[in-house]
């Protein structure tokens, strides 16, 4: 049993979901994260603009369930403050966590790479970690049965 942790561009999440479903993987956990790699978040201006928009949207989503703060509400959105994440080059990403049987790992890594590869910096990483157990909460099934 292996845990696969993939960090991908957040605009590729929908395509990745479809590809994973086609590959027969149903159980995926999605996390909103920010991150950076060896480039330390240095990207070209277009990519920075896109990221900024998404970043703002994420923060707006976090402060108000309707995605729109009330008029007059002051929201701490200032990504240009020197001490914010953005100034450190942390860009919005998605983290996908899957627990798979050993024989599925290669297929899933190939699937994620195919869907997410743009050839530009920031495509993300996939990590394969050992996982020693799984339990389905509803039934108490353990091990491989909990995954199927």
Tokens of 128: 């394969």
CB of residue 32 to other proteins, shortest distance in Å: 8
One residue of 24, 53, 69, 88 binding other proteins per CB under 8 A: 88
- According to the binding rule CB under 8 A, does residue 39 interact with other proteins? yes
Asked if 83 interacts with other proteins (CB under 8 A), we say: yes
Bridge partners (DSSP) of residue 99 are 3
Q: Measured from the CB atom, is 129 or 135 closer to other proteins? A: 129
For the CB of residue 13, give the shortest distance to other proteins in the complex, in Å. 13
In the complex with other proteins, the residue whose CB is nearer, 5 or 48, is 5
104 binds other proteins (CB under 8 A): no
Near other proteins by CB under 8 A, which window of 19-27, 72-80, 106-114, 136-144? 106-114
Pick the stretch among 18-26, 35-43, 69-77, 135-143 that binds other proteins (CB under 8 A).
Answer: 35-43
Coil, helix or strand for 102?
Answer: helix
Which whole-number Å values give the CA distances from 64 to 61, 75, 85, 139, 140, in the listed order?
6, 10, 20, 36, 37
- DSSP single-letter state for residue 119: S
How far is 92 from 86, CA to CA, in rounded Å? 9
Candidate segments 49-57, 69-77, 82-90, 137-145, binder of other proteins by CB under 8 A: 82-90
| Cβ proximity of 41 and 89 under 8 Å | yes
Between CA 81 and CA 101 the distance in angstroms is 45
């Amino acid at each position: 049993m292996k845990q696969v942790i993939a960090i991908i561009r957040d605009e590729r999440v929908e395509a990745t979901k479809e590809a994973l479903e086609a590959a027969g993987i149903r159980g995926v956990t999605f996390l909103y994260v920010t991150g950076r790699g060896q480039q330390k978040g240095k990207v070209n201006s277009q990519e920075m603009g896109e990221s900024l928009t998404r970043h703002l949207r994420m923060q707006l989503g976090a402060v108000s369930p309707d995605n729109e703060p009330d008029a007059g509400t002051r929201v701490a959105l200032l990504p240009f403050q020197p001490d914010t994440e953005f100034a450190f080059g942390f860009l919005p990403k998605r983290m996908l966590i899957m627990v798979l049987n050993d024989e599925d790992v290669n297929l899933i890594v190939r699937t994620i790479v195919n869907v997410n590869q743009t050839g530009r910096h920031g495509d993300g990483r996939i990590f394969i970690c050992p996982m020693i157990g799984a339990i389905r909460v509803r039934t108490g099934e353990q091990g491989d049965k909990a995954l199927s």
